[in-house]
Amino acid sequence: MKIKFCTQCGSTTELKVPVDDNFERYVCTNCAHTHYLNPRIVCGCIVYKEDKVLLCKRAIKPRMGLWTVPAGFMENGETTRNAAARETQEEANINITTGKLFSISNLPHANQVYFLYLADLGDKSYSVTPESSEIALFSKDDIPWDEIAFHTVKSSLTKYFEGLEDNHESKKNFKLHEVDF
Q: What is the DSSP string of 112-138?
A: EEEEEEEEE-TT-----BTTEEEEEEE
Q: What is the pTM of this model?
A: 0.88
Task: Indicate if the alpha-carbon torsion angle 1, 16, 27, 6 is positive or negative.
Answer: negative
For the chain, which domains are there?
A: 1-37 (2.20.70.10), 40-180 (3.90.79.10)
Q: How far is CA 36 from the centre of its chain?
A: 21
**64 Ramachandran zone, left/alpha/beta (phi>0; psi -120 to 50):** beta
CA pair distance 103, 84, nearest whole angstrom: 12
CA pair distance 7, 170, nearest whole angstrom: 50
Q: Which amino acid is at 136?
A: A
pLDDT values of the chain reduced to their tens digit, one per residue, 181 residues: 899 999 999 999 999 999 889 999 999 999 999 999 999 999 999 999 999 999 999 999 999 999 999 999 999 999 999 999 999 999 999 999 999 999 999 999 999 999 999 999 999 999 999 999 999 999 999 999 999 999 999 999 999 999 888 765 556 677 888 888 8
